[in-house]
Amino acid sequence: MEQVTQRGLTSAEVAERVALGQVNDVRRRSSRSVSAILRANVLTLFNGVIGVLWVLIMIFGEWQDGLFGLVIVANAGIGIIQELRAKRTLDRLAIVNEAPVRVRRDGAETEIPPRQVVLGDLILLAPGDQLLVDGETVDSDGLEADESLLTGEADPVHKLPGDEVLSGSFVVAGRGSYVATRVGGDAYAARLAEEASAFGLSHSELRDGVTRFIKYVTWLVVPIGALLTWSQVSRRTGVGEAVTSTVAGIVTMIPEGLVLMTSIAFAVGVIRLGRRRCLVQELPAIEILARVDTLCLDKTGTLTSGGMELGEVRGLRDDLPVPEALGALANLDPDPNPTARAVQTRYPDSPGWTVAAKIPFSSARKWSGAEFDGHGCWVLGAPDVLLPPGTPAYTEAGALAATGLRVLALGKVASLRDPDDLGTVEAAAIVVLRQRVRPEAAETLAYFAEQGVTVKVISGDNPESVSAIATSVGIPGGERAVDARTLPDDNPEKLAEIMEANTVFGRVSPHQKRLFVGALQSRGHTVAMTGDGVNDVLALKDADLGVAMGSGSGATRAVAQIVLMNDSFAGLPSVVGEGRRVLANIERVAGLFLTKTFYAIVLSLLTGVIGLAFPFAPRHSTLINALTIGIPAFFLALAPSNERARSGFVPRVLRLAVPAGIICATAVYLSYWIAQSGAATLAESRTSAVITLFVAAWWVLALVARPYVWWRVALVASMAGLFALTLAIPFTREFFALTLRDPAAGGVAAGLGVAAGAVLTGVFAVMRSRRTGPGQGDIQSVQDRSTATLGT
């Protein structure tokens, strides 16, 4: 049985299990299903309301007044198309991002996609591998698994043959293999992740804000709609006219396109980032990075390239076989880590020493070692961990590390029986490795500094070495490095204070990285964490936003919300830009939609109380909404923007939309009342109201569209031109029931719209000054200039 297990499954056994459905087929985290996309875009509350109102118009009114029903088709169609495009982008990148699983089948090792793992597969493990299915350990060579994501326990667990291993854990040290006993939805992590890893639109602060708007409007529509219905029916003007007026008011109250614009903005952001090889595993990640004010970086793999090269080996003892020991340690593992690979470039062959016992490298220990028959016990790792302070070797290693080099100590010990107490280490050599700083690091960090994002460098390397690298790429405060071994783990407040005051931290353990993220979050910071190694997994999981490199470990890529598939740190500004574009533009178009909602509410209340006919018909609402909101919002929602994300989305939009809606409604009703007081017919009075409403709503568009660049000016001007053409062309004038026999009446209506615009300009100026606050005007102007530059 043991021989069969070590050989793995045969091809026939795999085919049999596939036929039985015993395959690791789990839902992909990055996107929701096609059926879910269809339901989310078609079966909405507003689509239902608009559909019912459209049916009423088709029964009791004229078909031209039912044009608003096309909104359902447009909203659903555009939303579905954009989300399906985003889904294709996400799924394509997700497949590329999936770390292959190494299995043994027919006695040979092979790599397969995670979805092709079947029940009974023999899965091989190495440091950094994530366990995707549950199983039982078969072979263990110092195998240690971190199960903290499942159990909360931070200490790695040694796994021996026969021990259970659970999906969701990851290997931090050693090697081994296990047999899959539960796959697909039966695996432990799959059951836990069903909710946590679902498509993430619902967890967006922006999305939640839009949902709150919808909830508020729903509460208002019911009683105001009832009042409007009663007032129109009581006028005894006929059922058709009453229904038409009521529908016009209710339809205008509904911000039907706001949810669509939010979905489109997110979807287009995903597509744009996908073209830059950025995999967004949860859509709110786009938004979160726009809000980030603190970015924690792991030096290795982020500021520096993942690979290293051996610089020199400084022997400290002539009587010790340094080359042989380095060769033996570097060639212990058939799948060496980057450090061992660098040493192998000079010592490619093992001296033939027989291994009696070995301890694999782990980020917590910061060293690895082995006992060789007849040659004693040797260790290779961090000098400040292995060597006694104050010794010449310790001092020499520290001086080299301060120049930005990565330094290791090779030493000999009496025994490896107690890894926690090696006793005295005989220093044999100092090994110097050169790290390559990423060429894009300095420019990228300068971008974050300009954007007001604080950078913290958190690394497991020597503090002096980390400080030298941080200084070379221009990180403020990089010259002062803190040794994390001196920091308190049991005093969160003190730790948070130290984190606020310092920038560079060295000798940070994986557990401390997690504490550091929590300490910064306790001070109200929105924290992003980047990393590529297994020692970054816990911090990435706890951060508000985890960003992994595409070449990082499988466990790291699995827990991150964003994966930089091309390994380029320079990709982060693109993600920030997309996030800021989404937030700023949705806030911008939300102002348009909510202004419409509030002027409709006020007009409906005035109509219900006074008892006049509603100031315009549904076809008028369709025309004005298309020219002042629908068409412009589509372009504004996708425009470039670099405004810094700020909290308070809902109250900020309401502070502008409510007064703007009241001002527009007042001007419209005054225009309508003046026309009704004269000899104007209902059609002429409504035309006056439409002219006033268009001018006032167009003015809101002009204010919201700032700062101006050529295309925004063209957009605003073209909407005015289209309305003028609608009035000038007989066919469109008749189609939209616009009657303008008296030019003076049109002039009065337009004048009232201009007067409303002047008041709106003053209100917007006051609200803008309150938003920026004392001393912040310069900052806002810089942001506006930056936005204008991007827009060109």
Stretch 367-390: mean pLDDT: 90
Q: How many percent of the chain have pLDDT more than 90?
A: 16
Stretch 138-142: mean pLDDT: 86
- Backbone phi, psi, residue 23, to 5°: -120, 155
pLDDT band at residue 662 under the 50/70/90 scheme = very high
pLDDT digits (tens, 9 = 90+) for 254-263: 776 777 777 7
Q: Are strands 454-458 and 294-297 parallel, antiparallel or unpaired?
A: parallel
Catalytic residues: 298
Q: Is the pLDDT of residue 193 over 50?
A: no
pLDDT band at residue 726 under the 50/70/90 scheme = very high
**pLDDT higher at 392 or 559:** 392
Is residue 66 within 8 A of residue 58, CB to CB? The reply is: yes
pLDDT digits (tens, 9 = 90+) for 458-497: 888 888 888 888 888 888 888 888 998 889 878 889 999 9
How far is residue 130 CA from its own chain's centroid?
22
pLDDT band at residue 792 under the 50/70/90 scheme = very low
Name the DSSP class of 187. Answer: S
Q: What is the pLDDT at residue 408?
A: 92
Q: Which of 98-107, 145-154, 394-403 has the lowest mean pLDDT?
A: 145-154
Q: Which of 62-66, 341-345, 723-727 has the lowest mean pLDDT?
A: 62-66
Q: What is the pLDDT at residue 28?
A: 56
Q: Is the pLDDT of residue 184 over 70?
A: yes
Q: What is the pLDDT at residue 283?
A: 64
CB proximity list for 192: less than 8 A, separation 6 or greater: 150, 168
Q: What is the pLDDT at residue 780?
A: 36
Sequential DSSP letters for 707-759: SP-HHHHHHHHHHHHHHHHHHHSHHHHHHTT-----HHHHHHHHHHHHHHHHH
- Backbone phi, psi, residue 307, to 5°: -80, 160
Q: What is the pLDDT at residue 153?
A: 60
Q: Please list the residues that pair with 251 across neighbouring strands.
A: none
Best mean pLDDT range from 301-315, 528-542, 680-694: 680-694
Best mean pLDDT range from 188-202, 445-459, 721-735: 721-735
Q: How many percent of the chain have pLDDT more than 70?
A: 84
Is residue 430 within 8 A of residue 443, CB to CB? The reply is: no
Name the DSSP class of 203. Answer: G
**Would you state the structure tokens that stand for residue 773, as one six-digit string?**
């606050």
Is residue 537 within 8 A of residue 364, CB to CB? The reply is: no
Q: What is the pLDDT at residue 236?
A: 57
Q: What is the pLDDT at residue 151?
A: 62
pLDDT digits (tens, 9 = 90+) for 568-596: 777 778 777 777 777 778 888 888 888 88
**pLDDT higher at 369 or 69:** 369
Q: What is the pLDDT at residue 774?
A: 38
Tell me the whole-structure pTM to 2 decimals. Answer: 0.68
pLDDT band at residue 204 under the 50/70/90 scheme = low
Q: Is the pLDDT of residue 198 over 70?
A: no
Q: Is the pLDDT of residue 176 over 60?
A: yes
Mean model confidence pLDDT for the chain: 80
Stretch 417-422: mean pLDDT: 83
**pLDDT higher at 781 or 46:** 46
Q: What is the pLDDT at residue 746?
A: 84
Report which residue type is found at 121: D
Q: What is the pLDDT at residue 644?
A: 64
Q: Is the pLDDT of residue 58 over 60?
A: yes
Stretch 84-98: mean pLDDT: 66
Q: What is the pLDDT at residue 537?
A: 78
Three-state DSSP at 279 gives strand
Stretch 596-605: mean pLDDT: 85
Q: What is the pLDDT at residue 691?
A: 94
pLDDT band at residue 788 under the 50/70/90 scheme = very low
Q: What is the pLDDT at residue 773?
A: 45
Q: Are strands 278-280 and 294-297 parallel, antiparallel or unpaired?
A: unpaired
